[in-house]
Structure 1
Amino acid sequence: MKNPLNTLFGRLALMTVGLIVLVHVTLLIIVDSERGQLDATHMQHAVQLAMQAEHDGSLAVSSIAATLGVTYVPADKAIQYGCPAPCTNTNTPFDRDLRSKLPPGSQVIFDPDNGAVWVRYAGNADWAKLQNAALPGRRFLSASLLMLALAVIIALLGAWYLQRPLHRLARASREFRVGHRAPVVQPGGPREVKELIGDFNQMVHELAQAEQERAVMLAGVAHDLRAPITRMQVRADLLPDEANRSGFLRDAESLSRIVTQFLDFARETADTSPHAGVDAHCHRHYGDSLADDALVRLNLHAGDGFNLPLVDLDRILANLIENALTYGEPPVDISTFRRNGQYVLSVRDHGGGIPAGQLERALQPFVRLDEARGGNAHCGLGLAIVRRLVRYNGGAFSAENAPDGGFAVSLTFPAAHGGNRGGA
């Protein structure tokens, strides 16, 4: 399972959210602590003033009490007037700080529901209730959590916005790497990212032009060779010597096969021929006649829903089977099945396989590994052609050495290749 934090978005989000939470917690610990001390000091002065006014019996006591928001409540009626039962000292940082500033024996109760503070001054029989003296903890906590949630949402949106152009670039690069035509990436984000995307678009455009020029040249050369090869075959038939005639015909056939591979490799789109059922096609062309000679073994379980263009299917199978019989050892296993909503076509030989260090090189066009899988009249395009044809049909190509020996090629196609699209 992929780690969601091991992405640009994940790391940006983690860094930003972590910083916001750290700042928020720091504010809660430091700023709120200092705010509590200031509130306790102000509360101390207010209580002392109210108690002194009541003790002195000043005529202005009612005015002072009203200004400070103080209500005097007899001790036996404190709970009745809202003092949190059992009306004994509470133990919050604010309470402890205020109690330390009052004479010994004073009692302080903080009501977190409405922010009221109850103070019983040392030696005084009545309670002094200061309404809305402090911000209720519940309200402060909810406001803090709301601000934290808004900050986290903004941080996530910012991280998503910053990584979006890079995500588009990474997706286009992945498409280009596997051989698909990469779309033009819309520039966005910071200046450096825009420049990177612009350079990538230009690089893809230039590579596509070079690939097209190579394909046109290759196709032109292949077409030009068709006529002389045909003349060679005609003239070979006129030779009186059987050995020479057979040799010329074999050479002409090899050249014709190479030309056909050139043309297949130069194609840039999927074939438009009618679709054929893969299982039925394999049964028809690689069934009993080859199975009797133990050259090909069929294990077909994909069903009638697995269809591909007839010409592409024939060329895929022909290249894979010829590659297996030429460079590997029979029997050649052809398997089809459906897995996770996708169709899989697998072709495997029982030869010596390909050295692990040269596997990726063997899949490149015009490359032949003579030491491991040499042959005559081949130009190293077989697997490259198959990979291109699979790509043009929306599939995925993979090749590896089988655990128990041999070389295996697996072609995976989306379920969109199912349904009735014609027959062979």
Structure 2
Amino acid sequence: MKNPFNTLFGQLALMTVGLIVIVHLTSLLLVDRERGQIDTGHAQRALLLAVQAHREGTAAASQVSAALGVTLINASDAIPYGCPAPCRDTSGPFQDALRARLPPGSEVVADAGNGNVWVRYAGNPGWLKLENSMLPARRFLGASAMMLVFAVILALIGAWYLQRPLHRLAIAAREFRLGHRAPVVPASGPRETKELIDNFNQMVHELAQAEQERAVMLAGVAHDLRAPITRMQVRADLLPDEASRSGFLRDAESLSRIVTQFLDFARESADSSPCTSVDAHCRRHYGDSLADDELIRLDLQAGGGFGLPLVDLDRILTNLIENALTYGEPPVEIATSRHNGHYTLSVRDHGGGIPGSQLERALQPFVRLDEARGGDAHCGLGLAIVRRLVRYNGGVFHADNAVDGGFVVSMRFPA
């Protein structure tokens, strides 16, 4: 299972959300504590003034208490007037801090539901009710949680916005690496990201243009060679010497095959020929007559639903079988299967395989690992042509050495 945090979006989201949570907790632990101390000081001074005014019995005692938000209530009436039963000391940051500021023996009861605080001043028989002197817990926690959720949502939206253009760029780069035509990526995001996307689009355009020019040149040269090769074959038939005639015809046939490979490599899309069943095609062309000689073995399990364009299928199998018989050892195994919504076609020989350090090089065009065999119509395009044809038909190409010896090419196509 892939780690969801091992992505740009995951790491940006984790970083921003973590910072928001840390800042939020810091504000709760530090800022709110400082605010609580200030509120406690205000409450202590209001209580002191109210008690002093009532003790002195001044005419303005009630007005002072009302201005300070302090109400004097008899002890017997405290619970009916709202003091939380049993109207005894409660614990909490605000209550403990206020109790420490009052004379010894004072009692402090907090009503967290509505923010009222009840105080029994030392030596005072009644209770003093402070209206709205502390923020109700439910309101404070609700507002705090809402702010946190809102900040996290904004952080996730920002992280998604920042990673979106890079995600599109990664998809386009993967498509281009697989040989598909990469779409133009719209430039968005920060300035550095826009410059990266613009440079990528320009690079893809220039590479595609260079590839097209090379393909046109290669196809033109190959097409122009067909006429002289045909004339060579006609003139070779007129030679009186049998050995010379056979040699010329063999060389002309080799040149013709090289030209065909050039044209196949220069193609830029899948063939438009009708689809044919892969299993039926393999049985028809590589069936009993070759199986009797132990050159080719068939293991066809895909069924009739597995089809490819006839010309492309013939080119794929011809190149792979020729490569297997030239560089590997018989028997050559052709197998098809269907698994998890995909069809698989594989071709394997039983030779010595390819050294691991040379695998990637063997798939490059015009590369021959065995230079001594380069003159026998081998120009190093076989595997490169197969890989292109597989990609043009929406498949995935994979080549590697078999565990028990030999070289195997596996091609997976969507069902």
CA displacement at 1:374 relative to structure 2: 7.1
What secondary structure sits across from 1:337 in the alignment? strand
Distance change >3 Å, CA 77–CA 403, structure 1 → 2: farther
Q: Look up the match of 1:69.
A: 69
Does residue 338 (structure 1) correspond to residue 338 (structure 2)? The answer is: yes
What is the distance in 2 between the residues matched to 1:54 and 1:96?
Answer: 25
Letter in 2 for 1:160: W
**Structure 1 unaligned blocks of 5 or more:** 416-424
Letter in 2 for 1:9: F
Does residue 88 (structure 1) correspond to residue 88 (structure 2)? The answer is: yes
TM-score calculated relative to the size of structure 1: 0.94
Q: Look up the match of 1:274.
A: 274
Which digits, 9 at most, give the CA deviation of each residue in 1:58-84, with x for residues without a partner? Answer: 332332332233233333443333322
Q: Alignment identity in percent?
A: 76
What secondary structure sits across from 1:412 in the alignment? strand
Residue pairs, 1:177-196, within 5 angstroms:
177-196=177-196
Larger deviation, residues 47-56 vs 402-411: 47-56
Does residue 324 (structure 1) correspond to residue 321 (structure 2)? The answer is: no
Does residue 413 (structure 1) correspond to residue 413 (structure 2)? The answer is: yes
How many residue pairs match? The answer is 415
Distance change >3 Å, CA 237–CA 30, structure 1 → 2: same
TM-score calculated relative to the size of structure 2: 0.96
Letter in 2 for 1:312: D
Larger deviation, residues 205-214 vs 14-23: 14-23
What secondary structure sits across from 2:233 in the alignment? helix
What secondary structure sits across from 1:399 in the alignment? strand
Which digits, 9 at most, give the CA deviation of each residue in 1:91-143, with x for residues without a partner? Answer: 21111111111011111122221111111111222222222211112211111
CA displacement at 1:312 relative to structure 2: 0.8
What is the distance in 2 between the residues matched to 1:197 and 1:186?
Answer: 8
Which digits, 9 at most, give the CA deviation of each residue in 1:122-177, with x for residues without a partner? Answer: 12222222222111122111111111111111111111111221222121111111
Native 8 Å contact 1:20 1:148 kept in 2: yes
Q: Look up the match of 1:419.
A: none
What is the distance in 2 between the residues matched to 1:71 and 1:372?
Answer: 108
What is the distance in 1 between the residues matched to 2:382 and 2:77?
Answer: 98
Does residue 3 (structure 1) correspond to residue 22 (structure 2)? The answer is: no
Distance change >3 Å, CA 305–CA 219, structure 1 → 2: same
What is the distance in 1 between the residues matched to 2:375 and 2:304?
Answer: 36
Native 8 Å contact 1:327 1:373 kept in 2: no
Q: Look up the match of 2:232.
A: 232
Q: Look up the match of 2:123.
A: 123
Distance change >3 Å, CA 146–CA 192, structure 1 → 2: same
Residue pairs, 1:13-412, within 5 angstroms:
13-370=13-370, 376-412=376-412
CA-atom RMSD in angstroms = 1.7
CA displacement at 1:372 relative to structure 2: 11
**Structure 2 unaligned blocks of 5 or more:** none
What is the distance in 1 between the residues matched to 2:118 and 2:399?
Answer: 80
Letter in 2 for 1:103: P
Letter in 2 for 1:21: V
What is the distance in 2 between the residues matched to 1:371 and 1:251?
Answer: 18
What secondary structure sits across from 2:206 in the alignment? helix
Letter in 1 for 2:365: P
Letter in 2 for 1:235: R
What secondary structure sits across from 1:132 in the alignment? coil
Letter in 2 for 1:276: T
Distance change >3 Å, CA 225–CA 30, structure 1 → 2: same
Letter in 1 for 2:14: L
Q: Any runs of at least 4 consecutive aligned residues in structure 1 with deviations exceeding 4 A, and if so which?
A: 371-375
